[in-house]
Amino acid sequence: MTVIHTLGLPRMGAGRELKWALEDYWQGRRGADELLAVARELRARHWAMQAQAGCALVTVGDFSLYDHVLDMSARLGVVPERFGWSGGEVDLDTYFRMARGRAPSGTPAFACEMTKWFDTNYHYLVPELAPGQRFELARHDLFAQVDEAHALGYAVKVAMVGPLTWLWLAKAQGDFDRLDLLDASLPVYGRILERLAGQGVAWVQLDEPILALDLPAAWRAAFEPAYHVLRNSGARILLASYFGALGDNLMNAARLPVAGLHVDAIGAPEELPQVADWLPAGRVLSVGCVDGRNVWRADLDAALDRLAPIHARLGERLWLAPSCSLLHVPLDVTLEDGLDPEIKPWLAFTRQKLDELAVLARGLTQGRDAVADELAQCRAALAARRASPRVTDPAVRARLAAIRPEDAVRAAPYARRALVQRQRLGLPPFPTTTIGSFPQTADIRAARRAFKVGHIDRAEYEATMRAEIRHAVDIQERLGLDVLVHGEAERNDMVEHFGEQMQGYAFTAHGWVQSYGSRCVKPPILYGDVARPAPMTVAWITYAQSLTQKPMKGMLTGPITLLKWSFVRDDQPWRDTALQIALALRDEIRDLEAAGIGVIQVDEPAFREAMPLRARQRTGYLAWAVQAFRLATGGVADATQIHTHMCYSEFNDIIAAIAELDADVITIETARSNMELLEVFAGFDYPNEIGPGVYDIHSPNVPAVDAMVRLLQKAAARIPAERLWVNPDCGLKTRAWTETEAALANMVEAARRLRATIGA
């Protein structure tokens, strides 16, 4: 029988049990024992799900209390000095302090930097390497989890981040090449593998997704000797590559001294025969043949066609799996009672993907007749999706075809617009603003729930949200901020809120996907042509503007983010979907402008994340991504100030494209990486205005005035003072009001000091 397995499962649980347990623990409402019991129960449930679906091996080690990269760092004893760790076991609270800056015990410190996991919306904690970094096996929870699974009677495959990928994702704190630390880290990897082999673990999956990247030659060459060392551990290693083609890494990867290789046949189906050709005799080939990144039901006929010749050659050495960890998709589509019954059969979440693998495995080993019913069902669902009038809207298509190049160009260049805007807005130097959201309090969430289940009506719900907006405006007035925001109380999520008001999007009730730590998002499903039947934000923003003389920022989510943070349709190019969304936003922006709103922000936090991993595909992406943003924003008058916001990414390599967006102002994350972003401005003259985030909103710590003044002075050395804004590095919805007010009071004070010193 063909082996099926997963590279990893979602961690949160059907009811997001892990989220609640974590947050209770952090707030002191539950003890460590209670948190760990929830974690154990979730693992057991997820193993049972795999076993029930027919997985011959259950995966251990994909579960994490916060992040699997942080798990690996802790396991390797790579704990930055500021956390006061002095060897021995990295305990739970040290682990959480690395993730969040604080924990129930221990002294608060700067959290580790967080950034996106390849081109996904999952965030990992960046390992920090000190010069002469030492490694020691310092966290042992993985071995206990293996015992748990064995005790439940499962055959185990352990998954963890491989040594080259872990090192690639790390940052050297100092002037040295992090690859030089590979040799020092391998003995600890070796000890982990030996110990797992000693526990009777059948396989160890080492994730090396960097094999889907353009690797420098030294990194590519480092794989072979490293895996030779690891081979001596006695563990059977499955090397897992995903997130796209192996490309120029293919030959190297196929010939590594490991027992098996996993490849992504969804991202790179064309490569599969070549991989099979290159694979030495006796090796297992795990083929990622259902999409681990998206929610569409697989085309099982096509998959069988592709797999059959490989199966004929490899027999039992062919394994089947999702293309990557299922971390990136929701758990179970059968939970979705409210989902449109026409759309539901087009979808497959984690549980359904495991079932798809089981069907494919049976089809391969017992022949297609053995799975004729399943194949017929699949064909019918795919045909219904293709033919559905809900997917294709001729009016949207016609409008897209009629776009002219000048639609994406502002009438005057930035320098001229800036003068008009300065006159209209009357802002001081170093204007202060925030990124959009204010605390989503328990009251706000309770009101939303009450409205959803019908305990309060729309009028009452909207009145409650207006009261929240008034509260947010009052506080901003009191704090002395210059450009105000309405606070986004009425938004459950920056994508869902818009998707719900646009044609072409469907929504789940339980389709949560982890974003970072305990934070989950519920991405909408973009299944059809997009249009905006009616204004989406105008009533809220004009209400907020009516409460103040100061400029109120209109707040929208941009086309790339609305696309990337959704499950995107796979039946047309991303570009077409992005431009459809851009046209809808263009109408919204025009309506806001007509309603007297003078500042409009179009958030694009996913702009960098949507960029292809391989360099040769990037120019094409950036061209249509810039076009989409400019199509959305290009129709406004000179006096209307367009802002954009981006966060938690490496921006240095795309700064020219960011400049091409031609937003009047960009607010951008820098605080957590200590303004490293600013180094790019030494080599690139960013032409418009910019607000480098002066404090990290992901930490509850209140930033000191001095620290922010210093950051801003550093910025002023690179960017002319008259083009600098002062703002936090992201939205404040995850924070509490007390810390938010304290932080913003300090931020406003920092701006005042700066006006006094630099102005003088």
- Interface with ligand GLN (CB under 6 A): 435-437, 488, 494, 555, 603, 605, 645, 647, 730-731, 733
Q: Residues 390, 529: contact at Cβ < 8 Å?
A: no
46 or 733: CB nearest ligand GLN: 733
Residues for the chain: how many in total? 760
Q: Can you tell me which residue has the tokens 């000095």? A: 81
* Shortest separation between residue 79's beta carbon and ligand GLN, angstroms: 28
526: tokens are 């973009």
437 or 640: CB nearest ligand GLN: 437
169: tokens are 């994702």
The stretch near Zn ion (CB under 5 A) out of 226-234, 235-243, 414-422, 726-734 is 726-734
Euclidean distance between CA atoms 221 and 228, whole angstroms: 12
Measured at the CA of 160, the angle between CA 2 and CA 55, to 5 degrees, comes to 25
Which residues lie across from 3 on neighbouring strands? 319
555 binds, among Zn ion, ligand GLN, none (CB under 5 to 8 A by kind): ligand GLN
Residue nearest to ligand GLN (CB): 731
Euclidean distance between CA atoms 631 and 385, whole angstroms: 29
* Shortest separation between residue 481's beta carbon and Zn ion, angstroms: 17
Measured at the CA of 570, the angle between CA 569 and CA 573, to 5 degrees, comes to 95
The most distant pair of C-alpha atoms in the chain lies apart, rounded to whole Å, by 83
The stretch near Zn ion (CB under 5 A) out of 364-372, 554-562, 602-610, 715-723 is 602-610
11 or 733: CB nearest ligand GLN: 733
Question: Which is catalytic among the residues 5, 68, 311, 698?
Answer: 698
Quote the DSSP letter at residue 684.
Answer: S
Least Cα distance to 755 among 714, 722, 707, 715 occurs for: 722
Give the binding-site size for Zn ion (rule: CB under 5 A): 3
243 or 516: CB nearest ligand GLN: 516
* Shortest separation between residue 641's beta carbon and ligand GLN, angstroms: 16
Annotate 386-418 with b (16+ C-beta within 10 A) or e (fewer). Answer: eeeeebebeebeebeeeeeeebbebeeebeebb
Euclidean distance between CA atoms 112 and 494, whole angstroms: 25
733 binds, among Zn ion, ligand GLN, none (CB under 5 to 8 A by kind): ligand GLN
436 or 504: CB nearest ligand GLN: 436
The residues in 610-629 that bind Zn ion, with binding defined as CB under 5 A, are: none
| Residue 582: C-alpha distances to residues 396, 566, 608 (Å) | 12, 15, 17
494 binds, among Zn ion, ligand GLN, none (CB under 5 to 8 A by kind): ligand GLN
211 or 666: CB nearest ligand GLN: 666
Among 222, 298, 730, 750, binds Zn ion (CB under 5 A): 730
322 or 692: CB nearest ligand GLN: 692
The stretch near Zn ion (CB under 5 A) out of 88-96, 402-410, 523-531, 603-611 is 603-611
Residue 382 engages Zn ion in binding (rule: CB under 5 A): no
678: tokens are 């600013």
Question: What angle in degrees, to the nearest 10, is found between the helix axes of 737-759 and 458-479?
Answer: 40
Pairing type for strands 525-531 and 503-506 reads: antiparallel
* Shortest separation between residue 520's beta carbon and ligand GLN, angstroms: 14
Q: What is the DSSP string of 365-413?
A: HH-GGGGHHHHHHHHHHHHHHHH-TTT--HHHHHHHHT--GGGGS-SS-
75 or 645: CB nearest ligand GLN: 645
Q: What is the DSSP string of 20-48?
A: HHHHHHHTTSS-HHHHHHHHHHHHHHHHH
Residue 92 engages Zn ion in binding (rule: CB under 5 A): no
φ/ψ region of 33 (left if φ > 0, alpha if ψ in -120 to 50, else beta) reads: alpha
- Which residue type occupies 721? A
The stretch near Zn ion (CB under 5 A) out of 101-109, 457-465, 565-573, 723-731 is 723-731
- As a three-state string, the secondary structure of 588-614 is HHHHHHHCCCCEEEEECCCCCCCCCCC
Neighbours of 446 (CB within 10 A): 13
Among 263, 265, 647, 677, binds Zn ion (CB under 5 A): 647
456 or 555: CB nearest ligand GLN: 555
Residue 160 engages Zn ion in binding (rule: CB under 5 A): no
Annotation says 328 is catalytic: no
Q: Residues 186, 224: contact at Cβ < 8 Å?
A: no
Measured at the CA of 13, the angle between CA 11 and CA 15, to 5 degrees, comes to 145
581 binds, among Zn ion, ligand GLN, none (CB under 5 to 8 A by kind): none
Which residues lie across from 645 on neighbouring strands? 603, 667
* Shortest separation between residue 541's beta carbon and ligand GLN, angstroms: 13
439 or 605: CB nearest Zn ion: 605
- As a three-state string, the secondary structure of 709-740 is HHHHHHHHCCCCHHHECECCCCCCCCCCHHHH
The stretch near Zn ion (CB under 5 A) out of 159-167, 361-369, 563-571, 599-607 is 599-607
Cα radius of gyration (the chain) = 26
121 or 185: CB nearest ligand GLN: 121
Euclidean distance between CA atoms 417 and 422, whole angstroms: 8
- Surface-to-core class of residue 315, CB atoms within 10 Å of its CB (0-12 exposed, 13-18 middle, 19+ buried): exposed
List contacts with Zn ion (CB under 5 A). Answer: 605, 647, 730
Which positions are catalytic? Answer: 698
